[in-house]
Structure formats: C-alpha cells, structure tokens
C-alpha cells in the first residue's frame, strides 16, 4: 500500500512466466496489436500512435519531451510536487526554456496561474503538467489545463502515470496531446513499461521536426517502424516480450472489470479508508475536492515517530506504506490503494495495523470505531 509498485495479481505473474517467443513472431505481432487496442481503451483515445515504451514511466516522460520539443522552445511547466520538477529537468535537457508555474505541494495546479503564464509568454509552444501527483496525492483538472493549452495554440504533455485505470482519464474528450503512463501503479502490472499516446497534432509536430530527436532509443518515428504500420515490422530493439505478456494480461483484466467499475472501486475503498482514518482521529492532508483515491496523504499525529510506525507495519504486518516527500517528509504518510491493491481487505488491514502501531507509541486510538466507520462505507 505504498506509492507503487502495487500488488501484481497471480494472473499477470502467470502471463509473465509464459515461454519467450521472438519479437517478430507473427503471434507476437498479433499480441502487440491487441495491446495497442487495449491501451486505446484504457486511455479513451483513438490515437493510432498509442504504444508501450520499453522502459519505466520515466522513459515515457522523456519520450514525450524529446519528441515534442526542439532547442529554443518555450515550455510552461507546472510544479506542485516531485514530478513537475522532473519535467523541468527534461525541458532544460532538450535545450528549451522552462517557465515554471508553482503551486504548493498538496494543492492542485492553478489554471489561473497557467493562463497568466501564457499571457506573459505568448511564444510558449507546450504546456506540461501532472494529472495525478503521486508525491502529494493531488488531482489537477486535466480537461481545463488542456483547453488552456489549445486556446493558446500550444500542445499539452500530461503525466498520467498514477491516474491511468484509477481515476477518470479521457485523452480524446479532454484534448490531451502527449500522454504517458506506467504499468506499476493502477494497472497492477510489473514495473518496466510506459504506455504513451500522441494526438494527431502531436504526431504532426513530430513529423515536421527539422532536427533529429536527441534520443535514438526514444525517437517515436523509429519506434513506430517496429510498433506501427499495417505491413511488416522492422527490428528496432528486442521488445521486453514477457513484460508485454504481463501488460496484455493486466489490460485484459481492466477491460473485463470495465474502466468505470475500476474507478468506482478505487473511489469506494478510498472513502472507506478516509472514514476509518478520521474515526481514529487522524487527518487527511489534502482537501476532499482534489484527493486522489489511489494515493492518500495522511498527517502524522504530533509526537509520533514516522519511521517507527512504518517499520512496525512492515515487519509485523507485512504492509508497506509510503513516507512523505519534500516539504511533506516526516509530516505525512502516503497510503496507496492502487489497482489490484485497492480492496476492502487492504483497507481493513491498514486500519488495524495502524491502530496497533500508534498504540505502541502511546497514542490511544479506537481501531474498533475506525473499522466500523470503514465498514459502513463498504456496505453502502
């Protein structure tokens, strides 16, 4: 129950163990086509350039920046947590200029500040922001931010690593242009792949580049020689065959459950966890209006030893929760309810284990009341 990787279901682990076949085997090419279709469903898009990059979420992030940016570009980058800072690094390494829009950690990206940044920098070609900030448990309004980019003739780069499968994400309806995600958060697949999708406008920008993409491995025009096209596929790199079996299985599971049912499950378990934590006297650190159901930021009560509690959970209950990051380190815990780990059983386990760990440090909390409050939500 940390910030990822989440628990991987046996069905996905079983897929991982299937025999390795060639990356140009016709059966494997068929599986690649299935993966693209399943990813289009997960992202809610008809973008034909929708593929998994053969490396973790950070590589999908880098793929979006290196393919869309050219040296000298101006990019508006929103930072309200760890991952906005990484976007700035990517922009600068592309030889572009990052105009930073800062919001407090624990707050969503301010659309008003982004509008002001576009007014001050009409030359900006791109807007980059994080939909679901895993470092703080905050959701930003992706539809509104993508609309702002469009109104100013800019393209949007959106981090959906933690949102995909856990909360609503409508790539086409919201008009997001270059979107990347990861496999190990709400998809509950093993780490190591990064699904990406590029809108027709993003593809047009890539096709009209006058400079080569600085990364050979992440150059989407080269990657599409292997992943794209109706006809024959050319070797680019040896695909991580078994990891792709696992992704295929986890996407099948998502489609079987249905996106909306998955979102509803994440939402219900989140409400149950919050009800239990609050009944215990703990406080959530993010306002209810922009909380992520899959990543819950909880304030550590005064006088409680952060690492000591996490140690008790891990050694005695085999339960991992995340520490706070940056300004929130030592002040908050990050409790994940991601993908396959978003279950009523985990909510109950977490509340019971926290009750024991807090009592051990002299804080009297009522686990019974917490469980009753959580169960009331789960039963409703």
Ligand X SMILES: *Cc1c(COP(=O)(O)O)cnc(C)c1O
User: Which residue ranges make up the site for ligand X (CB under 6 A)?
Assistant: 4, 56-58, 61, 83, 130, 134, 159, 161-162, 182, 184, 191
Q: How far is the CB of 365 from ligand X (least distance, A)?
A: 30
For the four alpha carbons of 36, 42, 48 and 50, in that order, the dihedral sign comes to negative
b/e code 251-277 from CB counts within 10 Å (16+ = b): bbbbeeeebeebbebbbbbbbbbbbbb
Nearer Cβ to ligand X (159/177) = 159
Minimum Å gap between C-beta 336 and ligand X is 10
Closest C-alpha among 276, 274, 272 to residue 291: 274
Minimum distance of ligand X from residue 61's CB (angstroms): 6
The sheet with strand 295-299 has its strands ordered as: 295-299, 332-336, 322-323
Binding site, annotated residues for substrate: 334
Closest CA to 369 of 299, 267, 277: 277
Q: Which is nearer to ligand X, 175 or 191 (CB)?
A: 191
- Residue 4 or 52: the one with the smaller Cβ distance to ligand X is 4
Show binding-site residues.
334
- For the bound state, the minimum distance from the C-beta of residue 295 to ligand X, rounded and expressed in Å, comes to 8
- Residue 181, Cα to own-chain centre: how many angstroms? 5
CB of residue 322 vs ligand X: minimum separation in angstroms?
Answer: 11
Which residue lies nearer to ligand X by CB, 276 or 339?
Answer: 339
Are the C-beta atoms of 195 and 51 separated by less than 8 Å?
Answer: yes
For 116, the enclosing helix (H) or strand (E) is helix 111-120
- Cβ proximity to ligand X: between 187 and 279 the closer is 187
DSSP strand E in the chain: where?
49-53, 74-79, 97-102, 126-130, 132-133, 138-139, 155-159, 178-180, 194-198, 295-299, 322-323, 332-336
Q: Name the residue nearer to ligand X (CB basis): 61 or 145.
A: 61
- Least distance between ligand X and beta carbon 194 (Å): 7
> Residue 5 is encoded by which pair of tokens?
């990787």
């Amino acid at each position: 129950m940390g910030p990822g990787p989440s628990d991987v279901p046996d069905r996905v682990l079983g897929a991982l163990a299937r025999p390795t076949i060639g990356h140009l085997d016709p059966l494997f090419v068929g599986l690649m086509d299935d993966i693209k279709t399943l990813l289009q469903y997960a992202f809610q898009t008809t973008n034909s350039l929708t593929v998994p990059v053969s490396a973790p979420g950070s590589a999908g992030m880098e793929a979006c920046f290196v393919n869309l940016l050219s040296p000298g570009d101006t990019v508006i980058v929103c930072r309200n947590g760890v991952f906005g800072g990484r976007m700035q690094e990517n922009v600068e390494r592309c030889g572009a200029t990052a105009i930073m829009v800062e919001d407090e950690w624990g707050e969503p990206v301010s659309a008003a500040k982004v509008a002001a940044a576009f007014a001050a920098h009409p030359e900006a070609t791109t807007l980059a922001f994080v939909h679901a900030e895993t470092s703080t448990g905050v959701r930003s309004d992706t539809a509104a931010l993508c609309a702002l980019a469009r109104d100013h003739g800019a393209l949007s780069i959106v981090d959906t690593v933690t949102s995909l499968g856990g909360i609503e994400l409508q790539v086409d309806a919201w008009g997001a242009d270059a979107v990347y995600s990861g496999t190990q958060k709400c998809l509950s697949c093993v780490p190591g792949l990064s699904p990406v999708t590029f809108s027709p406008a993003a593809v047009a920008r890539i096709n009209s580049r006058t400079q080569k993409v600085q990364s050979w491995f992440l150059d989407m025009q080269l990657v599409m020689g292997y992943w794209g096209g109706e006809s024959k596929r050319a070797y680019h790199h040896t695909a991580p065959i078994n990891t792709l079996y696992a992704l295929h299985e986890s996407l099948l599971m998502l489609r079987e459950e249905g996106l909306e049912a998955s979102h509803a499950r994440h939402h219900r378990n989140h409400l149950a966890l919050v009800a239990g934590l609050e009944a215990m006297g703990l406080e959530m650190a993010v306002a209810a209006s922009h909380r992520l159901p899959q990543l819950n930021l909880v304030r550590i009560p005064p006088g409680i030893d952060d690492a000591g509690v996490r140690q008790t959970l891990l050694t005695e209950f085999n339960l991992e929760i995340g520490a706070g990051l940056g300004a929130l380190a030592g002040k908050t815990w990050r409790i994940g309810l991601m993908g396959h780990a978003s279950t009523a059983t985990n909510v109950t386990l977490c509340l019971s284990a926290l009750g024991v760990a807090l009592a051990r440090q002299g804080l009297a909390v009522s686990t019974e009341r917490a469980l009753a409050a959580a169960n009331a939500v789960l039963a409703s």
